[in-house]
């Protein structure tokens, strides 16, 4: 089954707005007046939409001639220019960006107090969305670590 026009628009918005599913849902489904976070999370959890997002990103990367190698080459040039200009802040920025691309930056551990305060400020809908997204990420990470592709099947009920 193909994607609907609204799902296509959701994908385009999601990929162009910095991967904000709630905002993409709001633009793609203007008649919906609430629940953007939950609906957006549900959309990106759908296998067909995930595949379409990957295809859309690949198409854009090809169109713009983007690849990891080309981006690393550009950062190398930026580093060299910063080195020549004796600009340590720009050199550090280029190094940091390359490290990010290579996965050398890791998030710091969670701060329980900050997480508890954040949870208190969230609505029930936001908490549920966060729970769903965390579950999806956990399942995907577990599948990656085990070398198994995770496939989610939603019941028709």
pLDDT digits (tens, 9 = 90+) for 45-99: 999 999 999 999 888 878 877 777 888 888 889 999 999 999 999 989 888 888 8
pLDDT band at 108 (very low <50, low <70, confident <90, very high): low
Q: Which of 140, 129, 124 is nearest to 43 (CA)?
A: 129
Q: What letter would DSSP give residue 17?
A: T
Contacts for 57 with CB less than 8 Å, ≥ 6 apart: 15
What span, in angstroms and rounded, lies between the C-alpha atoms of 2 and 20?
23
| pLDDT for position 155 | 54
Residue 148 sits at φ, ψ, to 5 deg, of: -115, 135
pTM of the model: 0.48
């Amino acid at each position: 089954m193909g994607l609907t026009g609204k799902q296509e628009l959701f994908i385009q918005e999601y990929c162009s707005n910095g991967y904000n599913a709630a905002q993409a849902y709001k633009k793609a489904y203007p008649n919906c007046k609430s629940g953007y976070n939950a609906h957006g999370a549900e959309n990106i959890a759908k296998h067909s939409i995930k595949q379409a997002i990957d295809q859309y990103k690949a198409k854009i990367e090809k169109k713009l001639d983007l690849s990891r190698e080309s981006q690393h080459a550009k950062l190398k040039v930026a580093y060299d220019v910063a080195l020549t200009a004796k600009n340590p802040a720009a050199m550090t920025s280029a190094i940091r960006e390359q490290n990010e691309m290579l996965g050398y930056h890791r998030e710091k551990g969670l701060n329980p107090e900050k997480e508890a305060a954040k949870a208190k400020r969230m609505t029930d809908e936001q908490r549920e969305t966060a729970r769903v997204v965390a579950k999806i990420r956990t399942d995907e990470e577990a599948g990656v670590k085990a070398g198994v592709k995770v496939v989610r099947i939603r019941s028709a009920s």
